[in-house]
Chain A
Amino acid sequence: MFPNARIPYGTWGSSYFPAWQTSALAEVNIGQFAGESMGRILGLRKVPKSELEYLIIGSTIPWHWKFWNAPLVASCMGHRIPGYHMEQACATGLQAALLAGAEVDSGSNDVVGVLTFDRTSDSPVGVFPERRAHERTQAIADVWDNFGFDPATGNAMITAAGITARKYKCERAETDEVAFLRYEQYFDAKKSGFLERVMVPLNVLNVQGRPLGRIDDDYGVRMVTMGGLRAMRELDTCVTGGGQTHASDGMSTLLVTSKEKAKELSPRPEIDIQFVAKTEARTHPSLMPEAPAFAVQKLLDKTGLTMADMAVVKNHNPFAVNDVIFSKLLDYDWRKLNNTGCPMVWGHPQGPTLTRVLIEALEEAVDLGGGHVLVFGCAAGDVGIASVFKVS
């Protein structure tokens, strides 16, 4: 897939994802923040922003001046280039990278920026004509309304997790074990310095130009104990506060370029990162946690690859249930997933979630000396998305 497109190693970066309402990101126009941050990250990666020809942005939560989409965000970066906005709920972060691959592969542009972001904190309140309410018009907080209500099924996300857990007869003990391991993986990665290679601390200013806050950690994430997880109240089958993700804010960025440009822009031009394949699947109503496994199975069928071929496997897992079900369906030990952390632990800012998953996965693959990288996840609407990359 996209034989002419590459992801130049080491030109990516992400903000940390502070939990909603825990940081200065609750105060900012996230589109502006993302644009300025991308300029900063590219600067730190020694990529002049003048190299960028096109920008694909992805976000799912409305933000002020969103109408002006990618060109405005590019202006905030200080580089007036065209581009567009896309969104696909929690698949946004991966889909945006794939669209950039298509853009480069088509020959339209040689250097395309992928910039995904969202602010769940103080999400905008929309006033909609609303037939659910007797008032006929309701003010609705975007993030919470969508978490709590899939209009196609009438169910909440968490309900879907419970329904799917029951379908696969998941055990609470196992999802607690998954959750515990995920926290251990995250904190081990943090301790090893791995996160510092992909995450960029960012200092946020107020309107007077004075420091408003420093985004230098995934605020709100604390190590858990197995005892603590077990003691948590079950919110639905196999779903507890410890075994599900939380809303957070942040941005994430990477570049997709031609082969030649990848060599030129990467600090390690000998590393080659290619797109291999991508699939999506949609399952039955309110069974979202199984959808990623179907997408991955489809991917394996299409490519002829097996899970044994994967050097790194990493997913967007809003619920520990997702990982358990994936293991059952693909016969793949969940202990081998998500070695450096995952959204269940570090949060769920929607748009950038899978972009961060992707760049962490690629960085890990480089550490391992290359190989196939499988990235997948679920998205609103009982959708699963999966993609394979090759690092060599």
Chain B
Amino acid sequence: MSKVMRESTLQTLGLGNVIDIFENGRTPADTAGLVDQVFGNAGNRGSLVISGANGIVGAGKTMQLGSRLEPFGVRVVGLDFPSAPDGIGQQYPGLVQAFGREGADRIMGNITRMSYDGVNLPAELKNLQPRFLLEAIPEILEIKRAHYKLFRDAFPGIEIRSVTSGFPSSELGVGIAHPAFPHEINKVWEIVEPEPSAVTQLLWSMGLIPLPVGDNWSFILDVLFCGVTLAGLRYHDSSNMPFWKIDKFTRKLLGPNPFRAHDAIGAKGADFLTWSCLHHLSETYGELFRPTAVLEERKETGQTWYPPNHFRPLVDWRLDAEADQEFRTWILGPMLQMTSLMLHEKRGHLSHLNAIGELCAQFRRGILAVIRDLGPDSVIATVEDYHRLYPDAKTGKSWYPAAFDAIETPDWQQLYVNAEHDGTVGVITINRETYNWDVDHELNRAIDWLKAEGIDRVIVTGDFHISTQMIGADTSDFFAALENFEEGHRITSGWPATARRLNDEFAVSVGFVNGKRCLGGMLELLIHCHYLVSVDDAQLGWPEVTLPVVPGMEACHWPFRKANPDHWPKLQDLLLNGRPTRASDAVGWLVDYAGPLDQAIQTAWKVAGGADHGLQQRAVEGGALKDVPTEVRDLPLPDSPGMETARGAIIECMKQTCALPLAEALEVQAKRSADFLASTTCREGQVGAEYTRTMSV
């Protein structure tokens, strides 16, 4: 019987806990079996129909699902009006880029395009045995309902999901699978259905990210995205600030630039969708969501929010401290109030609610992480300030300050990191692709919890759900460090101290790489485990030199202490070139085991559980390392002067930290990494450029 710190997000898909995956030695659902369930067995396999297939959503999903279902012989039917502009054909170049010409031709060859008049289905459709309809037609309730009837009459028992962003399942009479933009590549789908279905589990097994949400008017993503757009619109009405500048200040405050996003999606369609969501929300919840006159106008005109190129903005807008505070209230106030409503309605697992903003709406940190930092008192005060600016927001049923009462519970406190155990072995899961202070704090709490539970064997891994890879540090957390050494030092001494706990505080710790890559700070974190187990085709590496930064979680000496000197040049190559290596090529000097997913899972479990696993632990050398080469030969030319400088700094850091005992190395690497973060080279690199783009508004 396993015990969990908070509910696993996998559980919301009916797929159990992550520890179950390790205990069972395999993932809980396989694609082939689910394809059989949804589309029928191989001899009698039906097809997927996407209606509105030439639209932005339809075409994107035709590609995303078509590329994944083609190997299983599931035919994809793209259905649309004869007059619809060719959206599917426009996807071909992207498909070639992702799969090569041959692969792209194969995927496109598996798509059958059909036209219909909206009333009668083509007779040939019957031959393709439609089993699953993904409806992506315009957001008009009556038309959608008639569309479902048409299909149900023709194909009784067909599974139907709507991609609607706004209509609840209860209104439509079908389940919801609302995908996030950009539709070709974004893996997130908001799912509304009574119980986790085979369709949803199939999406998960194909590497997509289905997130169950509540059945309400407009789902979480649209409340956040349309909400932040509306907040910007209200501020515009109050201040006259142009939309492009509101975008910049909003990006600085939270991350999204909603008006640019509308233009990027296509203002005409996006404006209508945003209006539609807000309109229905306002009908249900009141003035908090009421679309402004500007949006009412633009849903008709489809006018872009940014000026045309020949009228690129001339006059800049700045905010003094008072105006900045007011801006913050106009934007944060409604977002916090809307979030209180979603919490009150229990619209989803808190990690989902939080992650949707990050993965689909450009939030730098999820809205719940922001709220957690602010604290309930500050949140409530901000909303009340907003009500003073916009008293109408108080009306209706949309403000639930009590929703923040539970902020100290694990559901709130462990948005990104969870812990589970079976009484002997613990599993720590990280559902964020990048490491930041939130993850760091939550990881420490997860370790504390396992220790308190008496667990001294642990696997550290992704969550097999929201996080499909581990990219490295969240460089937006470096922004303050660009200006302030102390801020950098706080990171470069604090984060590795957390990582060392995995080495120091457990009898056995296993880092497990289950995604397609594990890079940078995330790899530094996992190498602090006693063992590193990976799927064999995962890419591992330290791209820091290309940014450039100096690795801040001990990559400059820790892996050298665990590797035979013969392998040190390979580690140096990883650090100084920034190019990743395949996990299967790194066994013995960086990775302890690499194999196919199920075997890797089983190996990790054996190691963690103390079963016979046949691996030799690579001990960490605690003393000073001798003869670490300081001259690195045969390096290819650096890509930039910054990379050349970073190489020098990394070599110097390597030299100094390897020459020290383990106990003393941390402070030296912390100082050198923080020094580099505050250097001109770093400010002129990618982190600095991102900082300037985001924060120098």
The interface of chain A, by Cβ under 8 A from chain B, is 28-29, 32-33, 36-37, 39-40, 42-43, 47-50, 76-78, 202-205, 207, 209, 211
Contact = CB atoms under 8 A, between A and B. Distances in A.
Given A43-B241, A50-B237, A205-B315, 5 more contacts: A32-B311, A43-B317, A48-B240, A204-B315, A205-B316
A204 B316 contact: yes
Query: Interface size bucket, B side?
Result: 10 to 19
B424 interface: no
Contacts of B312: 205, 207, 209
Nearest to A37: B315
Contact of A43 (B240, B243, B316): B240
B238 interface: yes
Contacts of A76: 307, 311
B313 A209 contact: yes
B315 A202 contact: yes
Nearest to B292: A50
Nearest to A79: B240
B237 A36 contact: no
A39 B242 contact: yes
Contacts of B318: 203
Contacts of A47: 240
B314 A33 contact: yes
A205 B316 CA distance: 6
B239 interface: yes
Interface in B16-46: none
Contacts of A29: 314
B299 to A, nearest CB: 15
Contacts of A43: 239-241, 317
Interface in B286-337: 293, 307, 311-318
12 contacts: A33-B314, A36-B313, A36-B315, A43-B239, A48-B238, A49-B240, A50-B237, A78-B236, A202-B316, A204-B314, A205-B313, A211-B316
Nearest to A212: B314
Contact of A78 (B238, B242, B293, B316): B242
- Highest count of chain A CB atoms <10 Å: which of B238, B239, B312, B316: B316
Q: Which of A33, A37, A205 has the most CB of B within 10 A?
A: A205
Interface string B229-248: 00000001111111100000
Interface core residue of A28, A36, A209 (most chain B CB under 10 Å):
A36
A205 B240 contact: no
Nearest to A64: B310
Contacts of A37: 315
Contact of A32 (B239, B314, B316): B314
Interface string B377-416: 0000000000000000000000000000000000000000
Contacts of A77: 240
B315 A203 contact: yes
A29 B316 CA distance: 15
B338 to A, nearest CB: 23
Contacts of A204: 314-316
Nearest to A29: B314
A46 to B, nearest CB: 9
B401 to A, nearest CB: 29
Contacts of B237: 48, 50
Contacts of B243: 78
A40 B240 contact: yes
A346 B241 CA distance: 29
A224 B317 CA distance: 34
A246 B243 CA distance: 37
A39 B241 CA distance: 7
B290 to A, nearest CB: 15
A321 to B, nearest CB: 37
Interface in B210-264: 236-243
A39 to B, nearest CB: 5
A208 to B, nearest CB: 8
A211 B315 CA distance: 9
A42 B240 CA distance: 7
**Residue of B243, B312, B315 with most chain A CB atoms under a 10 A cut-off:** B315
Contacts of A207: 312
Tell which of B238, B243, B311, B314 has the most Cβ of chain A within 10 Å: B314
The 9 residue pairs across chains A and B that have the minimum distance between CB atoms: A43-B240, A203-B316, A36-B315, A39-B240, A49-B240, A43-B239, A207-B312, A33-B314, A205-B316
Contacts of A50: 237, 293
A40 to B, nearest CB: 6
A79 to B, nearest CB: 8
A77 B312 CA distance: 13
B314 A28 contact: yes
Contacts of B240: 39-40, 42-43, 47-49, 77-78
